[in-house]
Amino acid sequence: MRSQNSTLSLHTAFVRPPFFFINGLNNIPHAKYYYVFLCFVFVVTLLGNSFVMFSIYTERTFHTPKYMAVFNLAVADLGESTSLIPNLVAMFLFDSQYIAYDACLANMFFVFFFTCLQSLTLTILAYDRLVAICFPLRYHAIVTMPAMAVVLTVVWAYDSVLLMIMVALVTRLSFCKSIVVKSYFCDHAPIFFLACNDNLPNGITGIVNIILLLYIPLILTVLSYVFICGAIFKIASWEGRVKAIKTCSAHLMLVALYYLPMLGTYIAAIGFSIHPNVRIMNTSLAKAITPMLNPIIYVLNTEEFKEFSKKMLKRRRKKTRTEINNQNK
């Protein structure tokens, strides 16, 4: 009887490890070059998104609801890269793959929070384009600064609550099987699969969050463009249609950059088994490259940013000439 009780207590004992071991890429020669490449990507991401945020903050013409959402997208890009890449590089370039339990949960929250914030912000920008093209005369009455501030506040709260629930449910898990996380960061599914008690609530929460934070925003974005296409076809002149399409081109590129790599990986995983290294490479590249390209696409495809960049260059040249003249005197 005592032996049965002791066996039962072993199975029901709650085990919270002091740390996890992040596995990363396995048996790939010269993998460190990949992490060096991610360092370069992070620097470009930092500079690009900082420039977008600085431009919107300093230039009065950018103090509009649309650019408030663009500023939020830059914050999400910068947040995702900062919560992911420096930690990843520190782990795998400097062989420090152990991460404390609490730090792991924090890493999980922030990576997913900013990743999902991108998805939600892209949906807000799709709504902005929908109103601008389908209801141009009422745009400034519908999309106002207070309305955009409320929408962004709701989005931050919505994202935070859902992901706090997801992370909080991890704390109820007991880890007596392994502490090796088969991913490149503290990923939700690879961690809860390590649990030796009931992880069904975690699996359900993960699926619900994917639906609420990724799939529903994608569906709303696609529906927005269905209505936008309908409105564009009603425009009589070809020039008007081209102008309307141009106002959406940058946003469409951002949506494609964000969703296509992710959906491709998920669809491929359903059809056949994907090697962990392939999954890690695909998802890490998508999470690193997208925040880097977002500001570049906006700067290259938006006339307002082009004009602002030209003004900045002119001011810089003028200041340099003035300094040279003062030195010559």
- The per-residue pLDDT string of the chain (329 residues; one tens digit each, 9 = 90 and over) reads 343 333 334 445 778 899 999 988 777 777 788 888 989 999 999 999 998 998 899 888 889 999 999 999 999 999 999 999 998 888 888 878 899 999 999 999 999 999 999 999 999 999 999 999 999 889 999 999 999 999 999 999 999 999 999 999 999 999 988 899 988 899 998 999 999 888 899 999 999 999 999 999 999 999 999 999 998 888 878 887 888 888 888 888 889 889 988 777 777 766 666 777 777 888 888 888 889 988 888 777 777 777 777 777 777 777 777 767 666 66
| Cβ within 8 Å of residue 169, ≥6 positions away | 201, 202, 205
| Helix 303-328 / helix 31-58 crossing angle, nearest 10 deg | 90
* Strand blocks (E) in the chain: 19-22, 98-100, 180-181
Return the half-sphere exposure (C-beta side, CA atoms, 13 A cut-off) of residue 308: 20
- Domain ranges across the chain: 15-306
Q: How far is the C-alpha of 212 from the C-alpha of 168, rounded, in Å? A: 18
Structure tokens at 231: 């409105």
Q: How far is CA 228 from the centre of its chain?
A: 25
Domain boundaries 15-306, corresponding CATH code: 1.20.1070.10
Structure tokens at 302: 């938006």
Sheet containing strand 180-181, edge to edge, reads: 98-100, 19-22, 180-181
